[in-house]
Structure 1
Amino acid sequence: MLFITNRFPTQSIRTRVNRNFTFDLNNNAAGNSVYYCERQGLDDYLEIGSTAFLQRLKEADVRQVLIYLHGFSNLPEDVFAAVAEFQGLCDAARPGEVLAVPLVWPCDNDLGVVKDYWDDQESADMSAFSFARVLQRFLDWREGEQFEQDPTPCLKRINVLAHSMGNRVLRETLRVWRKYSLPGGVPLLFRNTFLVAADIVNESLEEGHSGELITHASRNVTVYFASDDLALRASKASNLKNRIASRRLGHSGPEDMSRVGRNVFAVDCDDVNTRYDFPKGHSYFRSGTTFGEPGVVFRHLFTALESGRVFPEDETRRMTILRE
C-alpha cells in the first residue's frame, strides 16, 4: 500500500530513498517534511521518495486515485486497516477502478478521548502546511512536470475522501495552499470529494466560510451525515466547552443548501449508520452489517466514483436519504 505521511520517523527526518521507515508513535507533532512511502506488511514500511511514488501511481492499473484522509485518534496501523477494507470493497465492486492512497497525519497516542481531540485538532491544522506541498507536487506532476524517461501525462482522475477530523485537515490544506501558492484561486483538482461524518461546522462550505475552497477544488462535493453520530456528539460537547457553538457538518449536512454551490450534495445516512458501526455510528461508509460486504453508503459513494455524478439518474437532484 502506498501512503504519504508527515509523522516523524524514529530515523533521521532527512529523506533517504529505499530506507526502512519507522513511525515515532509517541510524537504527534506535525512535521514540516513529508515522506512518500510503501507499507510492505504489519509495521513494515519503506520510504521510496516522491519521484518513484508518483511513477508508481502513473503505472498503476487503475482508472482513478482516491486520497484518503483519516479522522482523529487513529494510529498508522488503524488507518491502514481501514484503507485496506475500503480498497477491498472497491476491488470487489470493480477491479482496476480505484487505488486508495492514505495521507497519514499525526494523531495522539495517549489516554483520554477529550485530550486526544484537542491535541489532534492542533496536529490537523499544522499538517495543512506539509500537505499543501503535496497537492502542489501533484499539480506540477499532472500539469507537465513529467519524468524525462516517461514524458506522457498522467490521465488518472483524482478524488479525495475525508473522514471525521480529516475534513479539518482538507479544509486547512486548501486554505494554506491558496494563501501561499495560488493567489488566483485553487484549481479544479478533484473529480469527487466525499466528506464523511465531517467534524467541521455545518456552514463551512458556504461562500466566505472556511471550507469554501473545497467546493472550488472539486467537481462534486458529497456530504454524508447522520444526526445520531455519537463521535460527533462528543466533538460538539468538546467544542461547546471551548465556546464554539455550531452543529457539525457530519451531523446535519449543510446548514442551508441554497447557500452552498450547486456542486454540493447531501446524503442522509441516519437510517443505516448505527447498524453499520454500532454503537458510535461514525465509520459507516465502508462495510455494511457484515465486514467485507459493501453497505448502502459505500455503494452510493462508489457509483459516484465510477460515473463522476452523484445522482446520475436525476441531474437536478441534490439530496437523498439512504436506506437498505
Structure 2
Amino acid sequence: MAVYILSNRKIIRHKGERVDSFSNDEYSIPSFRIAKCNFDGYKEPTAAAKKKKDYTNRNILNYQLFSEPQKQGYQDVLDVLLNEKGIKESSLTANHLGGTQRMFYELYKNMSSTKDRSDVLIFIHGYAYDFDDELKAILDLKKLFIDNTESPVEHILFVSWPASSNVVPLTYFDDKAASINSGASLMRLFYFYTQFLKDIFSNRDLIPCNQRIHIAAHSMGNRVLQSMLYSLKKENILRVIDQVLLLNSDVSYKVFEDQETSFNKLPLLANRISIYLNRKDLILGISQFTKNILTPRLGKNGPSNIEPYKDIVSVIDCTFVEDDLLNTFKFEAGNHWGYLSSSSVQNDIFQNLYGVDRNLIANRLKNNENIFTIVS
C-alpha cells in the first residue's frame, strides 16, 4: 500500500523544521513535486486535537518529499531493476532514484509482486481546498479505497493543486486559472509515465504487472483533467488508463463534442468512462448560474452528445441515492459529494473499478444503452 502526493504547490520550510513541506499558498509552480505519505504509527486525532491551531500540515499526516532526479529519463530505474534481478550489475540502488523515477519504481515493484488486484487510483480534487484540506481528504480516500475490502485499489496518487482556501465567489475564477496551470503540469507527468513504460518494457527481462490504473476527478478537478487533455496531442496518447470516473463534474456539458477539444480525447486514453451526476447538485447549480454564463454543468445535466462514444462512456444518475454515510447539512443540501456520502454510489464505483460489465452492475436501472440510474 502506498499513497503519493503529486503537487505543484510552493515548497517551504516551516520554522524549527529540517524538512521541506508543501505550502498552503494559493499559486502554483511550473512543475510537480512528489511526496510519499507515511502512515506508520498514525493515530486518528481526537476532536480536541483537531481544534488546535497546530493541527496543520504534518500534524495531520506525515509525508516525505522525494529528491529531484539527478538526470532525466528512466535508464537508472532500468539498471536498478535489472541489478535486483541479477541480470546486470550496477552500483545504483533505489535510494539513488528521485521524483517520478522513485515513484514509478516503487509502484512497479509493489504491483508486480502480487497476483491479487493492486490497482492505482489517480485522484484530482475540486474547488476550495488548501493543502491541509487535501491531507484530510487523503485520509478519507485511504479509508474509502484502500482500507475497504470491496475496493481493488491499493495505491493512490493524489493530485494536489493550489485551489483557494475559501469559497468566496471571486476565488472560483482564481481556481479556474490554477486548474489550467496544473493541467499543463499533469500533462508533463503523463508524458513521463509513457516514457517510463517505453524505457522499462523495451527490455524483455521485465514484464508488465498487468494491474490497472484509474483516474477519478471531482468537481473542478475535471478542469485540471480538461487542461491536461487539451494539451495532449492525439497521436501521443496511449490507452494506459482502465476506468475514468467523472464525479459531479464542473465543466461544460458540451465537453465531449468535437468543437470542445478536450474530453473527446478521453476514449483514446481509457477503456471506460463513467459520468456520475446528480440533478439536484446545488454546488453545480450555483456554478452554472453565477460563474459560467448559464452553461449547464456536466455533473448536473449530463453530456449534450456522446453518441460517438456510447460504447465507452456511461452516464450514471445518482439523483435518488441516500446520503447514508455522511448526512450533515453540507452533504444533504449540496448533493455534490456522493462518492463520500452514499454507500450506493461507492458500491457502484467499486464495481466499475473491478471492470464489471456496465449492464451487470448491481442496483442500477437501465434507462437506455448507456444511461443508468442508481437505485438504493
TM-score tier, shorter chain, comes to 0.7 to 0.9
Determine if the alignment matches structure 1 residue 135 to structure 2 residue 190.
Answer: yes
Aligned residue among 334, 347, 358 for 1:310: 358
Listed as ranges, the matches of 1:175-254 within 5 Å are: 175-178=230-233, 184-209=235-260, 210-240=262-292, 244-254=293-303
Q: What is the deviation of 1:177?
A: 2.6
Q: What is the deviation of 1:45?
A: 2.6
Q: Which moved more, 1:111-120 or 1:157-166?
A: 111-120
What runs of 5+ residues in structure 2 fail to find an aligned partner?
39-57, 67-98, 112-116
User: CA contact under 8 A between 2:11 and 2:20: conserved in structure 1?
Assistant: yes
User: CA contact under 8 A between 2:256 and 2:305: conserved in structure 1?
Assistant: no
What is residue 16 of structure 1 aligned with on the other side? Answer: none
What is residue 36 of structure 1 aligned with on the other side? Answer: 34
What is residue 105 of structure 2 aligned with on the other side? Answer: 55
Q: What is the deviation of 1:129?
A: 1.6
SS, match of residue 279 in structure 1:
helix
Call closer, same or farther: CA 1:256–1:273 in 2, change over 3 Å.
farther
Q: What is the deviation of 1:211?
A: 1.9
Q: What is the deviation of 1:270?
A: 0.6
SS, match of residue 133 in structure 2:
helix
Aligned residue among 301, 320, 324 for 2:349: 301
Aligned residue among 253, 256, 281 for 2:335: 281
What is residue 125 of structure 2 aligned with on the other side? Answer: 70
SS, match of residue 219 in structure 1:
strand
Instruction: State the one-letter code of the partner of 1:286.
Output: L
SS, match of residue 108 in structure 1:
coil
Q: Distance in 2 between matches of 1:57 and 1:118?
A: 35
Q: What is the deviation of 1:97?
A: 4.0
Aligned-pair identity in percent equals 22
Call closer, same or farther: CA 1:128–1:164 in 2, change over 3 Å.
same
Q: What is the deviation of 1:170?
A: 0.4
* Total equivalences in the alignment: 301
What runs of 5+ residues in structure 1 fail to find an aligned partner?
12-18, 289-294
Q: Distance in 2 between matches of 1:82 and 1:188?
A: 28
Give the alignment's Cα RMSD to 1 decimal.
2.7
Determine if the alignment matches structure 1 residue 107 to structure 2 residue 163.
Answer: yes
Call closer, same or farther: CA 1:158–1:247 in 2, change over 3 Å.
same
Query: With structure 2 as the length reference, what TM-score do the two structures score?
Result: 0.73
SS, match of residue 32 in structure 1:
strand
Q: Distance in 1 between matches of 2:197 and 2:181?
A: 26
Instruction: State the one-letter code of the partner of 1:321.
Output: T
Query: With structure 1 as the length reference, what TM-score do the two structures score?
Result: 0.84
User: CA contact under 8 A between 2:288 and 2:297: conserved in structure 1?
Assistant: yes
What is residue 214 of structure 2 aligned with on the other side? Answer: 159
User: CA contact under 8 A between 2:119 and 2:154: conserved in structure 1?
Assistant: yes
Q: Distance in 2 between matches of 1:98 and 1:319?
A: 29
Q: Distance in 2 between matches of 1:104 and 1:207?
A: 29
Q: What is the deviation of 1:320?
A: 1.0
**Which structure's CA Rg is the greater one?**
2
Call closer, same or farther: CA 1:53–1:306 in 2, change over 3 Å.
same
Q: Distance in 1 between matches of 2:230 and 2:12?
A: 30
SS, match of residue 232 in structure 2:
helix
Call closer, same or farther: CA 1:310–1:237 in 2, change over 3 Å.
same
Instruction: State the one-letter code of the partner of 2:28.
Output: A
